A and B are shown apart, each in its own frame.
Chain A
Amino acid sequence: MTAEPFPSTAEAKLELLTRINRAIAGAEQQPLPPYPVSAPLSREAVLHQFEDRILDYKAAFTRVLAGEIVGAVAAALGGARRVIVPPGLAAAWLPAGLDMLRDDPPLSHADLDRAEAVVTGCAVAVSETGTIILDHGPDQGRRALSLIPDLHVCLVRGDQVVQTVRQAVDTVAASVRAGRPLTWLSGGSATSDIELVRVEGVHGPRHLHVIVVE
Chain B
Amino acid sequence: MSDHGGLHPAQPFPEAAREQVVRAQLRANLRKVTHTIREKRANVVGELPQWEQLRTLGAATKDASLANLSDRLLQLEQSVKARGGHVHWARDAQEAREIVARIAAAHGARELIKVKSITSDEIELNRALEERGIHAIETDLAELIVQLSHDRPSHILVPAIHRNRAEIQALFNAELPGEGELPDDPAALAAAARRYLRHKFLTTKMAVSGANFAIAETGTVCVVESEGNGRMCVTLPEVLVSIMGIEKVLETWEDISVFMELLPRSSTAERMNPYNSFWSGVTPGDGPQEFHLVLLDNGRTNVLADDFGRQTLRCIRCSACLNVCPVYERAGGHAYGSVYPGPIGAILTPQLLGMHDKNANTLPGASSLCGACYDVCPVKINIPQVLIYLRSEANLQKGLTAEALAMKGMKFVMSEGWRFEGALELARVGQGPLVHGDAITSLPGPLAGWTQVRDLKPFPKEGFRDWWRNRPAPVDAAPPAIVQKAEEGPVPPQKKEGGQFDAEPPREDTL
The chain A residues found within 8 Å of chain B, CB to CB, are: 1-4, 6, 8-9, 12-13, 15-17, 19-24, 27-30, 32-38, 53, 57, 106, 109-110, 113, 126, 128-131, 136, 142-144, 147-148, 165-166, 169-170, 173, 176-177, 179-197, 199, 201-205
- CB pair B220–A20 under 8 Å, yes or no, is no
Given contacts A144-B235, A189-B228, are A202 and B277 in contact (CB under 8 A)?
Answer: no
Q: Which residues of A contact B301 (CB under 8 A)?
A: 16, 19-20, 22-23
Q: Residue B272 contacts which of A131, A176, A188, A199 (CB distance < 8 angstroms)?
A: A131
- CB pair B103–A19 under 8 Å, yes or no, is no
Given contacts A186-B273, A203-B229, 15 further A-B contacts (CB under 8 A): A2-B290, A16-B301, A27-B66, A33-B60, A38-B50, A53-B271, A143-B287, A179-B280, A180-B280, A181-B286, A193-B140, A196-B32, A199-B190, A201-B194, A204-B228
Given contacts A195-B165, A204-B228, are A143 and B74 in contact (CB under 8 A)?
Answer: no
Q: Which residues of B contact A136 (CB under 8 A)?
A: 283, 286
- CB pair A186–B102 under 8 Å, yes or no, is no
B186 contacts partner chain A, Cβ-Cβ < 8 Å? yes
15 pairs of residues in contact across A and B, judged by CB atoms under 8 Å = A2-B107, A8-B98, A12-B89, A20-B301, A36-B54, A136-B283, A142-B287, A147-B232, A181-B277, A181-B287, A185-B274, A193-B190, A195-B29, A199-B186, A204-B232
Given contacts A189-B226, A192-B268, are A183 and B66 in contact (CB under 8 A)?
Answer: no
Q: Which of B252-308 contact A (CB under 8 A)?
A: 253-254, 256-258, 260-261, 264, 268, 270-281, 283, 285-287, 290, 292, 295, 297, 301-302, 304-305, 307
- CB pair A173–B254 under 8 Å, yes or no, is yes
- CB pair B287–A3 under 8 Å, yes or no, is no
- CB pair A12–B95 under 8 Å, yes or no, is yes
In the bound complex, what is the Cα–Cα distance between A136 and B286 (angstroms)?
A: 9
Q: Which residues of B contact A165 (CB under 8 A)?
A: 257, 260-261, 272
In the bound complex, what is the Cα–Cα distance between A187 and B225 (angstroms)?
A: 12
- CB pair B257–A181 under 8 Å, yes or no, is no
Nearest CB in chain A: distance from B342 CB, A: 17
**Complex: chain B residue closest to A141, CB-CB:** B286
Q: Which residues of A contact B304 (CB under 8 A)?
A: 20, 23-24
Give the segment of B116-124, B196-204, B452-460, B478-486 that binds chain A.
B196-204
In the bound complex, what is the Cα–Cα distance between A184 and B64 (angstroms)?
A: 26
- CB pair A35–B257 under 8 Å, yes or no, is yes
Q: Which residues of B contact A21 (CB under 8 A)?
A: 70
B68 contacts partner chain A, Cβ-Cβ < 8 Å? yes
Which one of B56, B73, B226 has the greatest number of beta carbons of chain A within 10 Å?
B226
B90 contacts partner chain A, Cβ-Cβ < 8 Å? yes
- CB pair A36–B53 under 8 Å, yes or no, is yes
- CB pair B280–A181 under 8 Å, yes or no, is yes
Lowest 10 A-B CB distances belong to which pairs? Answer: A204-B228, A36-B53, A36-B50, A23-B305, A203-B228, A142-B286, A184-B276, A19-B301, A129-B272, A193-B142
Nearest CB in chain B: distance from A27 CB, A: 5
**Complex: chain A residue closest to B104, CB-CB:** A3
In the bound complex, what is the Cα–Cα distance between A194 and B37 (angstroms)?
A: 13
In the bound complex, what is the Cα–Cα distance between A126 and B60 (angstroms)?
A: 25
Interface size on B, residues (CB 8 A): 106
- CB pair A29–B232 under 8 Å, yes or no, is no
- CB pair B271–A190 under 8 Å, yes or no, is no
**Complex: chain A residue closest to B296, CB-CB:** A16
Q: Which residues of B contact A20 (CB under 8 A)?
A: 69-70, 73, 246, 301, 304
Q: Residue B67 contacts which of A24, A143, A196 (CB distance < 8 angstroms)?
A: A24
In the bound complex, what is the Cα–Cα distance between A128 and B70 (angstroms)?
A: 36
Nearest CB in chain B: distance from A61 CB, A: 15
- CB pair A110–B290 under 8 Å, yes or no, is no
Return the CB mask of B23-53 against A: 1 if under 8 Å, else 0: 0000001001100110000000000111001
- CB pair B228–A16 under 8 Å, yes or no, is no
In the bound complex, what is the Cα–Cα distance between A4 and B91 (angstroms)?
A: 19
B128 contacts partner chain A, Cβ-Cβ < 8 Å? no
Q: Which residues of B contact A38 (CB under 8 A)?
A: 48-50
In the bound complex, what is the Cα–Cα distance between A33 and B54 (angstroms)?
A: 9
In the bound complex, what is the Cα–Cα distance between A179 and B408 (angstroms)?
A: 65
- CB pair B198–A203 under 8 Å, yes or no, is yes
Q: Which residues of B contact A35 (CB under 8 A)?
A: 57, 257-258
- CB pair A2–B50 under 8 Å, yes or no, is no
In the bound complex, what is the Cα–Cα distance between A184 and B141 (angstroms)?
A: 20
In the bound complex, what is the Cα–Cα distance between A106 and B283 (angstroms)?
A: 14
B106 contacts partner chain A, Cβ-Cβ < 8 Å? yes
In the bound complex, what is the Cα–Cα distance between A172 and B66 (angstroms)?
A: 26
Return the CB mask of B173-187 against A: 1 if under 8 Å, else 0: 000000000000011
- CB pair A204–B275 under 8 Å, yes or no, is yes
Q: Residue B186 contacts which of A4, A13, A19, A197 (CB distance < 8 angstroms)?
A: A197
Q: Which residues of A contact B36 (CB under 8 A)?
A: 196
B423 contacts partner chain A, Cβ-Cβ < 8 Å? no
Q: Which residues of B contact A37 (CB under 8 A)?
A: 50
Q: Which residues of A contact B89 (CB under 8 A)?
A: 9, 12-13, 16
Q: Residue A3 contacts which of B102, B194, B275 (CB distance < 8 angstroms)?
A: B102
B189 contacts partner chain A, Cβ-Cβ < 8 Å? yes
Nearest CB in chain A: distance from B183 CB, A: 12
B139 contacts partner chain A, Cβ-Cβ < 8 Å? yes
Q: Which residues of B contact A193 (CB under 8 A)?
A: 140-142, 145, 158, 160, 190
Nearest CB in chain B: distance from A53 CB, A: 6
**Complex: chain A residue closest to B140, CB-CB:** A193
- CB pair B202–A113 under 8 Å, yes or no, is yes
B315 contacts partner chain A, Cβ-Cβ < 8 Å? no
In the bound complex, what is the Cα–Cα distance between A113 and B290 (angstroms)?
A: 23
- CB pair B235–A147 under 8 Å, yes or no, is yes
In the bound complex, what is the Cα–Cα distance between A174 and B37 (angstroms)?
A: 36
- CB pair A202–B61 under 8 Å, yes or no, is no
Q: Which residues of A contact B194 (CB under 8 A)?
A: 201-203
Q: Which residues of A contact B95 (CB under 8 A)?
A: 8, 12
**Complex: chain A residue closest to B289, CB-CB:** A2
Nearest CB in chain A: distance from B241 CB, A: 10
Nearest CB in chain A: distance from B300 CB, A: 9
B152 contacts partner chain A, Cβ-Cβ < 8 Å? no
**Complex: chain A residue closest to B241, CB-CB:** A3
- CB pair A186–B270 under 8 Å, yes or no, is yes
Q: Residue B64 contacts which of A3, A8, A29 (CB distance < 8 angstroms)?
A: A29
